[in-house]
Structure 1
Amino acid sequence: MYKVDLPVEQSTEKAVERRRSAESARKARIFNTRLRVMGLDTDVLNQQVQEKKHQQNIERQRDKAFDKLREYHDVALLQLDTDDREKRAALHTDLVQYWATQQRVEDSRDADLKCGLQGAFRIPIPERELGPASMQMFQGEGIGEEQVRREQMKKTERDLQAQREDNARRHMGNKHREMLVSRELVHQDLRGVQQAALEEECQNAIRIAYNDYNRALAAEQAEKLMEQHRREERENLAEMRHTLTSDMMTECAEAAERKVGGGKPHHVLTDRWRGMSPEELRAIHEERETQCRERQRKRDAEKIHDAAWDHQLLKQSREAEEEEARAAELRRQTRIQMDQYNMQLAREQQAHQEYLDKKLYTNKPTRDYFYQFNTSSR
């Protein structure tokens, strides 16, 4: 058979190229110092970026909504201001029209005073003395002026009369009220005087009752004091009689050694004791000498015991000092041996280090030796 050059399948080439690209990407990731040392989680970073963008979008939408709400409020406030101004203008126009139609100056009660100077008025000067250029009243003017003035004077007089009558009625009413108030004050004063008189009578009755009660209490207290004084006198007489007839005054010697109630058989009554007998004094002296000899014997025994204890303590302290000296000598010998051993170890380590530096590690690696590593991702 003959050798035939068959074409390489295109899928195999694509697979090889894909593996080469993956290897290049793997090398880029592995030999990148920043990624290898620090490390980055791209998925988490992308998620954080998306969340931040979403948050910013929400904030922008919220700001737009707030802007629209502010614009709506501004338009509403402007419309309210415009309506208010229009209402004020319409009200002012209606008020001016009302003044012009319903409250004219010439329709008021004192129109003759305010508007009387607008027309001509009569001057009691003959026309022949004034001349044609000084005429101030013309034909048809001032008709009924005197009648109007008389009516106004009558009306003013009626108003003044009505005011005087009203003031008189008001004055009479005030006088009537003042009279009623003064009458009520008089009645109150009378009731106050009667009440004060009744209270004074009650106070007198209470005072009399208190006085009677206090006199009765004083009499009762005096009777109690007299009874107490009589009882004290009886008790004093009884005590004096008992004292005169007691064993203390009669100097009875057996009274001091008498058994009273539940006391001890040889109990001595101090208020009746007249002193000890010679036999009792002799017994006391003998007992005291016996106690002194016993106390001296105890002191001698304690001295002997203390001396023995001090000797034992001295012996123990000497033994402790000797033991401490032996321990110090042992520590010194141990330290000397440890120093010698450390010096021997130091000499051996120095010799080993010289062997490593001068005989074993004489062939130092070059730069090419280190460049042969980390050339592939596998």
Structure 2
Amino acid sequence: MKVALPKDLAQEVALSKRRQAELCRQKRIFNARNRIIGGDPEAWDVQVHDQKIKEATEKARDETFAAEMRQNDKIMCILENRERRDKKNLCRAINNFQQNFQMPETRREFDLSDPLALRKDLPARQSDNDVRNTISGMQKFMGEDLNFHERKKFQEEQNREWSLQQQREWKNAQADHKFADIHLVPPKLLWMTSCRPGQAVSLHLDPSAAEDLYTKTRLQFDETARHLQDLESATRTAVCASVKEFNKNQALESAEKKKREKNQEQEDNLAEISNLLRGDLLSENPQQAASSFGPHRVVPDRWKGMNQEQLEQIRIIQKQQIQEKLRLQEEERQRALDWDRRRVQRARATLLMERQQQRQQRDLRRALDSSNLCLAREQRSRKKSMKEACTNCPTEDYFTQFNTRSR
């Protein structure tokens, strides 16, 4: 019997391990699906299983989070509704308190924001004697009469009182006139009627004698009135004559004064015209336009223009400027022509260089084409020679020697 030593056992174990690894390797390599895919399906299955477990774990965690979020949303909705209700109750309580204890009318500055201020305010004017009708206020104009109806009513009442008073005075005058006529009757026109003892005595006037007495009295009054009228007319005539004489003297004095003023004005005008004609303004004295700020400055409202020397100097300077401008234009034209000539030369040189490059590229392309043609001929000849040298075909035994081991 052959005894197995520990060393042989270790070698046998190692050899068996290598054989098992070789078999596993051949299974993996000779499996066309795994070889084409080029991966480890078992590892992939493990990864897929781990991915599913991870997705399930994440899904459970997401569902837990979603449940918590829904619960938090419900709590937030409840809290928001409670806060909205509390805020609404607070606003209602504040409004009730303001309406009951903080009315706008109780504020100190309510008159500044009162919407009915214009309706409560007094009108711009109440009457013509209103103290607010100042001159600058423009509230009272000529021809206005706000108290027309009251004034008309007062005038009607006043006219009525005057009419009543005139009626009373007329009645009193008639009564006094009658009483005066009775007292002016001579004693011989009166005769006493017979009366009995114990009765009042009554006086009677003859109607014809009373009429004569009234006529004489009226004639006497008329004579007195005519005499007073003559005296008034004579006085008025004398006053008119004196006034006419005074007005005539005043007119003569006014005419004399106007004549003296006219003569004085004519003399002043003549003196002014003479001063203007002889002055520096119309005589165009250049010294009167000189400014006190320097000899190169003038007073615009007194300056009458430049003299001939200044104009001639300006013309000379203008001619010099024209010549200088023509010279600059000529230099600019020459410079432009020079630049144009350089640009044309540069363009011509560029065109010649491009043509030379095109010729060089054409030569290079021709050389490349000829070299490619030579290489193609050599390749065709080599393929032809290889086809003639390798004419044998492989058999099945040739292919069975492959894929016998994994190495």
Q: TM-score, normalised by structure 1?
A: 0.40
Normalized per residue, which structure has more helix?
Answer: 1
Q: TM-score, normalised by structure 2?
A: 0.38
